[in-house]
C-alpha cells in the first residue's frame, strides 16, 4: 500500500533530489511534482528528469499533492510555506527534512494554520549540494526522525513513517525538543567543530596552505568533508537550534580544557584512559550498520 500518491517536493537539492529519485525507484507509480526557488535549479531538474513535472511556483507544485515535502534550509521554511499556503489542499500532509525541529514546527504552524504538519528529519547526506548530487539509496538503513506536534493525527504520523520506510529508512518518533538536543550532539556540534578547525588550519602563519593540503592525510582531511557542506543550510541550522548548540558546545569546551590540562602536565595515564574509552563507540556504530565497516571509511588506497 502506498502512503501517498501525489508528492510535491519543494527544494530540489541533495535531499529533495534524493527523495525524488528514491520515490521513483521504490514507489514508481507515485506522481512527483518538484519546485525550487532557483530558476537554474528548475531548469537543471527538467534536464535530469527525476520528477514528472517541474512547477513554476510553490503554489502550483502543491495544488494536487497529498504529501508536500519541504527540502529547503530551515531559515526558509516559513517563507516558502507562506508562498503556497493558499493553494494547499485541506487533506494534504506537510512534512520537511530540516535538521532542527522545534523551529520548523513553530514556523510551519504559523504559516499554515489548520494544516496537518508532521515534521521529519532523515539523518543522511553527503558533503555535496544541488540537484545533481542526490541518489536513490541515500536513505537506505539510515534513521529518519519524525517529530509530530502534540495532538497530531496518528494516521498521518503512520503515513509519513510508511513513506520513509518505503524509501529504505528506519523511523523513530521523537519530541521536537529532544530531537534538537540529540542532533546538537550527533550533527551540529561535529559540523561546528569541523568548520572551526578547517578555518584554524588555514590561518596558522607558520604553516602554508600547501602544507595543510599535502599532509592532510594525518587526520585533517576527515574534517574537510563535513566542512564543505552547504553553507546556507548550516548557517540556518546553528541559528535555529542555537540554545541546544550552545549548551553542547559548553560541554565540549570543558572536556577539551580537561584534555588540554592532561597534555600540559604530561598526564599519560589519564590521556590513555580517555583514548581507550572512545574506541568502543565506533565499534557499536559499525555493528549497528551506521558506518562503513571497511578501514578508513572504504577510501581507495591505490
Of residues 156-175, which lie at the interface with a second copy (CB under 8 A)? 172
Among 27-35, 36-44, 108-116, 211-219, the segment contacting a second copy (CB under 8 A): 211-219
Question: Binding string, 49-88, against a second copy, x = CB under 8 A?
Answer: --------------------------x-------------
Residues within window 81-120 making contact with a second copy, judged by CB under 8 A: 99
Torsion sign, CA atoms 9, 13, 15, 20: positive
Considering only the stretches 1-9, 102-110, 136-144, 151-159, report the one whose residues sit in contact with a second copy under the rule CB under 8 A.
Answer: 136-144
Are the CB atoms for 109 and 102 separated by under 8 Å? no
What is the distance between the alpha carbons of residues 124 and 167, in angstroms, rounded to a whole number?
Answer: 12
List the strands of the sheet with 170-173, edge to edge. 120-122, 143-146, 170-173
48 vs 212, beta carbon nearer a second copy: 212
Residue ranges in 171-210 that form contacts with a second copy under rule CB under 8 A: 172, 178, 181-183, 185-204, 206-207, 209
Give the residue with the Cβ less far from a second copy, 57 or 196. 196
Residue from 37, 133, 149, 173 that binds a second copy (CB under 8 A)? 133
Minimum CB separation of residue 162 from a second copy in Å reads: 20
Residues 6+ apart with CB under 8 A from 146: 118, 119, 120, 157, 160, 161, 164, 171, 172, 173, 174
Q: By C-alpha distance, which of 7, 1, 37 is closest to 19?
A: 7
What the block records as the C-alpha cell of 188 is: 551540529
Helix, coil or strand: residue 210: helix
User: Should residue 281 be labelled a site residue for a second copy when binding is judged by CB under 8 A?
Assistant: yes
Over the window 220 to 249, marking each residue x when it contacts a second copy by CB under 8 A and - when it does not, the resulting string is xxxxxxxxxx-xx-xxx-xx--x--xx-xx
Q: Which residue has the cell 520515490?
A: 23
Smaller CB separation from a second copy, 47 or 251? 251
- Between 86 and 264, CB nearer to a second copy: 264
Least distance CB 174 / a second copy (angstroms) = 9
Q: In the bound complex, what is the minimum distance in angstroms from residue 86's beta carbon to a second copy?
A: 28
38 binds a second copy (CB under 8 A): no
Closest-CA residue to 180 (of 131, 134, 117, 247): 247
Q: Are 35 and 55 in contact (CB under 8 A)?
A: yes
Amino acid at each position: 500500500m502506498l502512503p501517498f500518491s501525489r508528492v510535491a517536493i519543494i527544494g530540489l537539492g541533495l535531499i529533495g533530489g534524493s527523495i525524488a529519485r528514491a520515490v521513483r525507484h521504490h514507489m514508481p507509480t507515485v506522481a512527483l511534482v518538484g519546485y525550487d526557488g532557483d530558476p537554474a535549479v528548475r531548469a537543471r531538474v527538467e534536464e535530469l528528469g527525476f520528477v514528472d513535472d517541474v512547477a513554476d511556483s510553490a503554489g502550483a507544485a502543491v495544488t494536487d499533492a497529498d504529501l508536500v515535502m519541504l527540502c529547503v534550509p530551515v531559515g526558509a521554511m516559513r517563507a516558502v510555506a507562506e508562498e503556497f499556503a493558499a493553494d494547499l489542499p485541506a487533506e494534504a500532509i506537510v512534512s520537511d527534512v530540516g535538521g532542527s525541529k522545534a523551529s520548523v514546527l513553530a514556523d510551519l504552524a504559523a504559516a499554515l494554520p489548520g494544516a496537518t504538519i508532521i515534521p521529519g528529519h532523515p539523518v543522511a547526506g553527503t558533503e555535496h549540494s544541488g540537484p545533481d548530487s542526490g541518489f536513490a539509496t541515500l536513505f537506505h538503513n539510515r534513521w529518519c526522525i519524525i517529530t509530530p506536534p502534540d495532538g497530531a493525527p496518528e494516521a498521518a504520523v503512520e503515513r509519513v513513517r510508511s513513506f520513509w520506510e518505503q524509501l529504505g529508512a528506519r523511523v523513530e518518533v521523537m519530541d521536537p525538543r529532544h530531537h534538537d538536543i540529540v542532533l546538537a550532539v550527533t550533527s551540529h556540534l561535529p559540523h561546528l567543530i569541523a568548520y572551526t578547525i578547517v578555518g584554524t588550519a588555514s590561518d596558522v602563519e607558520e604553516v602554508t596552505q600547501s602544507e595543510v593540503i599535502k599532509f592532510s592525510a594525518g587526520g585533517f582531511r576527515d574534517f574537510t568533508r563535513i566542512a564543505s557542506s552547504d553553507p546556507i543550510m548550516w548557517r540556518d541550522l546553528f541559528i535555529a537550534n542555537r540554545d541546544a548548540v550552545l549548551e553542547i558546545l559548553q560541554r565540549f569546551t570543558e572536556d577539551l580544557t580537561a584534555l588540554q590540562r592532561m597534555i600540559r602536565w604530561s598526564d599519560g595515564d589519564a590521556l590513555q584512559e580517555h583514548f581507550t574509552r572512545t574506541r568502543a563507540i565506533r565499534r557499536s556504530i559499525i555493528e549497528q550498520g551506521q558506518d562503513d565497516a571497511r578501514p578508513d571509511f572504504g577510501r581507495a588506497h591505490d
